Amino acid sequence: MDVKTFGVVGAGQMGSGIAQVAAVSGLQVILNDIKEEFVQKGLASIAKILARNVEKGKMSAPEKETVLGRIKTSVDLKDMASADFVVEAATENEHIKFQIFRELDSICSPGVILASNTSSIPIVRIAAKTKRPAEVVGMHFMNPVPVMKLVEVIRGLATSDETFQTTWDLAIRFGKTPALANDYPGFIANRILMPMINEAVYCLYHGVGTKEDIDTVMKLGMNHPMGPLALADFIGLDTCLAIMEVLYEGFCDSKYRPCPLLRKYVEAGWLGKKSGRGFYTYQ
Protein backbone atom coordinates (compact mmCIF):
# COMPACT_ATOMS: atom_id res chain seq x y z
CA MET A 1 0.00 0.00 0.00
CA ASP A 2 1.35 3.45 -0.92
CA VAL A 3 1.19 5.74 2.12
CA LYS A 4 1.39 9.47 1.38
CA THR A 5 -0.53 11.09 4.24
CA PHE A 6 0.22 9.86 7.72
CA GLY A 7 -2.09 10.68 10.62
CA VAL A 8 -0.94 10.82 14.25
CA VAL A 9 -3.52 10.99 17.04
CA GLY A 10 -1.95 12.41 20.20
CA ALA A 11 0.68 15.15 20.12
CA GLY A 12 2.46 14.30 23.37
CA GLN A 13 6.00 13.04 23.79
CA MET A 14 5.43 9.93 21.64
CA GLY A 15 3.01 11.38 19.09
CA SER A 16 5.17 14.39 18.30
CA GLY A 17 8.23 12.16 17.95
CA ILE A 18 6.35 9.88 15.54
CA ALA A 19 5.09 12.89 13.55
CA GLN A 20 8.68 14.15 13.32
CA VAL A 21 10.16 10.91 11.94
CA ALA A 22 7.27 10.55 9.49
CA ALA A 23 7.73 14.13 8.21
CA VAL A 24 11.50 13.70 7.96
CA SER A 25 10.89 10.57 5.83
CA GLY A 26 8.92 12.70 3.35
CA LEU A 27 5.32 11.95 4.31
CA GLN A 28 2.61 14.56 4.72
CA VAL A 29 1.57 14.44 8.38
CA ILE A 30 -1.63 15.35 10.21
CA LEU A 31 -0.88 15.80 13.92
CA ASN A 32 -4.06 15.69 15.96
CA ASP A 33 -4.90 16.22 19.63
CA ILE A 34 -7.97 17.28 21.57
CA LYS A 35 -6.78 20.82 22.30
CA GLU A 36 -4.95 23.44 20.26
CA GLU A 37 -2.43 23.99 23.08
CA PHE A 38 -1.47 20.29 22.98
CA VAL A 39 -0.81 20.26 19.21
CA GLN A 40 1.10 23.54 19.42
CA LYS A 41 3.23 22.13 22.24
CA GLY A 42 3.94 19.02 20.15
CA LEU A 43 4.84 21.11 17.12
CA ALA A 44 7.10 23.36 19.22
CA SER A 45 8.96 20.35 20.54
CA ILE A 46 9.50 19.06 16.97
CA ALA A 47 10.71 22.52 15.87
CA LYS A 48 13.13 22.63 18.81
CA ILE A 49 14.65 19.22 18.03
CA LEU A 50 14.97 20.09 14.31
CA ALA A 51 16.60 23.44 15.18
CA ARG A 52 19.13 21.54 17.30
CA ASN A 53 19.82 19.28 14.32
CA VAL A 54 20.45 22.36 12.17
CA GLU A 55 22.89 23.71 14.79
CA LYS A 56 24.69 20.35 14.79
CA GLY A 57 24.94 20.46 10.99
CA LYS A 58 22.78 17.35 10.60
CA MET A 59 20.14 19.21 8.60
CA SER A 60 20.04 22.48 6.66
CA ALA A 61 17.73 25.35 7.68
CA PRO A 62 15.65 25.05 4.45
CA GLU A 63 15.29 21.27 5.06
CA LYS A 64 14.00 22.01 8.55
CA GLU A 65 11.37 24.37 7.09
CA THR A 66 10.38 21.76 4.47
CA VAL A 67 9.93 19.11 7.18
CA LEU A 68 7.88 21.47 9.37
CA GLY A 69 5.82 22.44 6.31
CA ARG A 70 4.77 18.80 5.92
CA ILE A 71 3.05 18.79 9.33
CA LYS A 72 -0.54 20.03 9.51
CA THR A 73 -2.10 20.32 12.94
CA SER A 74 -5.67 19.32 13.80
CA VAL A 75 -8.02 19.30 16.78
CA ASP A 76 -10.81 17.47 14.97
CA LEU A 77 -10.46 13.72 14.52
CA LYS A 78 -12.55 14.03 11.31
CA ASP A 79 -9.41 15.50 9.66
CA MET A 80 -8.08 11.93 9.64
CA ALA A 81 -10.45 11.29 6.72
CA SER A 82 -7.61 12.35 4.40
CA ALA A 83 -4.98 10.05 5.96
CA ASP A 84 -3.81 6.80 4.31
CA PHE A 85 -2.43 5.40 7.56
CA VAL A 86 -3.17 6.50 11.13
CA VAL A 87 -1.19 5.80 14.26
CA GLU A 88 -2.79 6.46 17.61
CA ALA A 89 -0.44 7.64 20.37
CA ALA A 90 -2.90 8.79 23.05
CA THR A 91 -2.72 8.13 26.80
CA GLU A 92 -2.13 4.51 27.80
CA ASN A 93 -5.76 4.02 28.87
CA GLU A 94 -7.79 1.40 27.08
CA HIS A 95 -11.10 3.24 27.25
CA ILE A 96 -9.59 6.32 25.62
CA LYS A 97 -7.99 4.15 22.93
CA PHE A 98 -11.21 2.18 22.31
CA GLN A 99 -13.15 5.39 21.75
CA ILE A 100 -10.53 6.78 19.36
CA PHE A 101 -10.54 3.55 17.34
CA ARG A 102 -14.35 3.47 17.15
CA GLU A 103 -14.31 7.03 15.81
CA LEU A 104 -11.40 6.48 13.42
CA ASP A 105 -13.17 3.41 12.05
CA SER A 106 -16.13 5.53 11.04
CA ILE A 107 -14.04 8.48 9.77
CA CYS A 108 -11.31 6.76 7.74
CA SER A 109 -11.90 5.17 4.34
CA PRO A 110 -12.12 1.38 4.14
CA GLY A 111 -8.67 -0.15 3.81
CA VAL A 112 -6.89 2.60 5.76
CA ILE A 113 -4.66 1.01 8.39
CA LEU A 114 -5.27 1.99 12.00
CA ALA A 115 -2.19 1.40 14.14
CA SER A 116 -1.77 1.83 17.87
CA ASN A 117 1.40 2.89 19.63
CA THR A 118 0.11 1.13 22.73
CA SER A 119 2.91 -0.12 24.95
CA SER A 120 0.97 -3.07 26.33
CA ILE A 121 -2.76 -3.26 25.55
CA PRO A 122 -3.57 -6.31 23.38
CA ILE A 123 -4.17 -5.34 19.74
CA VAL A 124 -6.98 -7.88 19.52
CA ARG A 125 -8.93 -5.93 22.12
CA ILE A 126 -8.49 -2.65 20.23
CA ALA A 127 -9.23 -4.27 16.84
CA ALA A 128 -12.48 -5.74 18.16
CA LYS A 129 -13.82 -2.20 18.61
CA THR A 130 -13.65 -1.68 14.85
CA LYS A 131 -15.23 -3.25 11.78
CA ARG A 132 -11.77 -3.61 10.20
CA PRO A 133 -9.73 -5.90 12.50
CA ALA A 134 -7.61 -7.00 9.52
CA GLU A 135 -6.38 -3.40 9.19
CA VAL A 136 -5.53 -2.92 12.88
CA VAL A 137 -1.93 -3.40 14.02
CA GLY A 138 0.47 -2.38 16.78
CA MET A 139 3.26 0.04 15.87
CA HIS A 140 5.19 0.60 19.08
CA PHE A 141 7.88 3.26 19.03
CA MET A 142 10.40 3.83 21.83
CA ASN A 143 11.09 7.11 23.60
CA PRO A 144 12.79 9.37 22.49
CA VAL A 145 11.34 8.42 19.12
CA PRO A 146 13.81 10.34 16.92
CA VAL A 147 16.74 8.59 18.65
CA MET A 148 15.64 5.03 19.39
CA LYS A 149 16.08 2.58 16.53
CA LEU A 150 13.38 0.06 17.42
CA VAL A 151 9.76 -0.24 16.32
CA GLU A 152 7.90 -3.25 17.68
CA VAL A 153 5.29 -4.31 15.12
CA ILE A 154 2.51 -6.30 16.76
CA ARG A 155 0.26 -8.60 14.78
CA GLY A 156 -3.20 -9.00 16.24
CA LEU A 157 -5.15 -12.22 15.74
CA ALA A 158 -6.84 -10.83 12.62
CA THR A 159 -4.10 -8.50 11.28
CA SER A 160 -3.72 -9.19 7.55
CA ASP A 161 -0.39 -9.87 5.84
CA GLU A 162 -0.78 -6.65 3.84
CA THR A 163 -1.36 -4.56 6.97
CA PHE A 164 1.62 -6.13 8.67
CA GLN A 165 3.89 -5.62 5.64
CA THR A 166 2.86 -1.98 5.12
CA THR A 167 3.56 -1.22 8.79
CA TRP A 168 6.89 -3.05 8.71
CA ASP A 169 7.93 -1.17 5.54
CA LEU A 170 6.91 2.18 7.04
CA ALA A 171 9.08 1.53 10.11
CA ILE A 172 12.03 0.93 7.75
CA ARG A 173 11.17 4.07 5.78
CA PHE A 174 11.34 6.00 9.09
CA GLY A 175 14.92 4.76 9.53
CA LYS A 176 13.96 2.26 12.23
CA THR A 177 14.56 -1.44 12.68
CA PRO A 178 11.29 -3.30 13.15
CA ALA A 179 10.90 -6.41 15.31
CA LEU A 180 7.83 -8.64 15.23
CA ALA A 181 6.01 -9.34 18.48
CA ASN A 182 2.96 -11.49 18.89
CA ASP A 183 -0.04 -10.15 20.67
CA TYR A 184 0.34 -10.85 24.40
CA PRO A 185 0.24 -8.22 27.16
CA GLY A 186 3.35 -6.04 27.11
CA PHE A 187 4.49 -7.65 23.82
CA ILE A 188 8.28 -8.12 24.04
CA ALA A 189 9.69 -4.72 25.08
CA ASN A 190 7.56 -4.03 28.11
CA ARG A 191 7.17 -7.69 29.11
CA ILE A 192 10.90 -7.55 29.87
CA LEU A 193 11.55 -3.87 30.66
CA MET A 194 8.70 -3.15 33.10
CA PRO A 195 9.26 -6.08 35.50
CA MET A 196 12.91 -4.92 35.67
CA ILE A 197 11.85 -1.36 36.51
CA ASN A 198 9.24 -2.66 38.99
CA GLU A 199 11.92 -4.81 40.68
CA ALA A 200 14.17 -1.76 40.95
CA VAL A 201 11.29 0.04 42.74
CA TYR A 202 10.96 -2.99 45.05
CA CYS A 203 14.70 -2.70 45.81
CA LEU A 204 14.13 0.90 46.85
CA TYR A 205 10.96 -0.04 48.80
CA HIS A 206 12.78 -2.82 50.68
CA GLY A 207 15.77 -0.59 51.37
CA VAL A 208 18.20 -2.79 49.44
CA GLY A 209 19.81 0.36 48.07
CA THR A 210 19.34 4.08 47.57
CA LYS A 211 17.93 5.28 44.26
CA GLU A 212 21.39 6.45 43.25
CA ASP A 213 23.02 3.10 44.09
CA ILE A 214 20.30 1.09 42.33
CA ASP A 215 20.77 3.17 39.18
CA THR A 216 24.57 3.07 39.43
CA VAL A 217 24.53 -0.74 39.64
CA MET A 218 22.52 -1.04 36.44
CA LYS A 219 24.37 1.74 34.59
CA LEU A 220 27.90 0.68 35.39
CA GLY A 221 27.34 -3.01 36.03
CA MET A 222 25.10 -3.74 33.05
CA ASN A 223 26.00 -0.86 30.74
CA HIS A 224 22.45 0.47 30.60
CA PRO A 225 22.42 4.09 29.36
CA MET A 226 20.15 5.08 32.27
CA GLY A 227 19.44 3.42 35.60
CA PRO A 228 15.96 1.85 35.90
CA LEU A 229 14.62 4.49 38.31
CA ALA A 230 15.82 7.36 36.11
CA LEU A 231 14.32 5.55 33.12
CA ALA A 232 11.00 5.14 34.96
CA ASP A 233 10.97 8.91 35.60
CA PHE A 234 11.71 9.47 31.90
CA ILE A 235 8.91 7.15 30.72
CA GLY A 236 6.43 8.44 33.34
CA LEU A 237 5.54 6.54 36.52
CA ASP A 238 1.84 6.55 35.55
CA THR A 239 2.71 4.79 32.28
CA CYS A 240 4.93 2.28 34.12
CA LEU A 241 2.11 1.54 36.58
CA ALA A 242 -0.47 1.21 33.79
CA ILE A 243 1.75 -1.30 31.98
CA MET A 244 2.35 -3.34 35.15
CA GLU A 245 -1.44 -3.46 35.69
CA VAL A 246 -1.91 -4.75 32.12
CA LEU A 247 0.70 -7.49 32.72
CA TYR A 248 -0.76 -8.37 36.14
CA GLU A 249 -4.34 -8.58 34.91
CA GLY A 250 -3.49 -10.01 31.50
CA PHE A 251 -1.52 -12.98 32.86
CA CYS A 252 -3.31 -13.28 36.25
CA ASP A 253 0.15 -13.87 37.66
CA SER A 254 1.33 -12.35 40.94
CA LYS A 255 4.88 -12.02 39.62
CA TYR A 256 3.71 -8.89 37.80
CA ARG A 257 2.17 -7.15 40.83
CA PRO A 258 3.07 -3.46 40.81
CA CYS A 259 5.25 -2.33 43.71
CA PRO A 260 3.17 -0.40 46.31
CA LEU A 261 5.78 2.36 46.25
CA LEU A 262 5.23 2.87 42.51
CA ARG A 263 1.49 3.16 43.10
CA LYS A 264 2.03 5.58 46.00
CA TYR A 265 4.17 7.89 43.87
CA VAL A 266 1.57 7.91 41.10
CA GLU A 267 -1.20 8.66 43.61
CA ALA A 268 0.89 11.56 44.94
CA GLY A 269 1.19 12.95 41.41
CA TRP A 270 4.93 12.21 41.36
CA LEU A 271 4.92 11.08 37.76
CA GLY A 272 8.57 11.61 36.92
CA LYS A 273 10.22 14.16 34.66
CA LYS A 274 6.95 15.49 33.22
CA SER A 275 5.58 16.49 36.66
CA GLY A 276 8.93 17.73 38.00
CA ARG A 277 9.21 14.94 40.56
CA GLY A 278 9.42 11.16 40.52
CA PHE A 279 12.22 9.17 42.08
CA TYR A 280 14.34 12.23 41.36
CA THR A 281 13.42 15.92 41.24
CA TYR A 282 13.66 18.00 38.07
CA GLN A 283 13.91 21.75 37.45
Catalytic positions, please?
119, 140, 152, 190
Minimum distance of ligand CAA from residue 207's CB (angstroms): 26
Minimum distance of ligand CAA from residue 184's CB (angstroms): 15
Question: Could you tell me which of 269, 258, 280, 119 has the C-alpha nearest to residue 199?
Answer: 258
What residue ranges bind ligand CAA (CB under 6 A)? 49, 52, 56, 119, 142-144, 146-148, 189-190, 193, 225-226, 231, 235, 239
Minimum distance of ligand CAA from residue 79's CB (angstroms): 26
3-state secondary structure of 210: coil
What residues contact 21, with CB distance under 8 A and at least 6 apart? Answer: 141, 145, 146, 174, 175, 176
- How far is the C-alpha of 237 from the C-alpha of 183, rounded, in Å? 24
Question: Could you tell me which of 233, 227, 247, 246 has the C-alpha nearest to residue 279?
Answer: 233
| Residue with Cβ nearer ligand CAA (119 or 198) | 119
**Beta-bridge partners for 74:** 32
- How far is the C-alpha of 73 from the C-alpha of 104, rounded, in Å? 17
| Residue with Cβ nearer ligand CAA (112 or 151) | 151
| Residue with Cβ nearer ligand CAA (143 or 275) | 143
Minimum distance of ligand CAA from residue 100's CB (angstroms): 18
DSSP 109: P
Residue nearest to ligand CAA (CB): 119
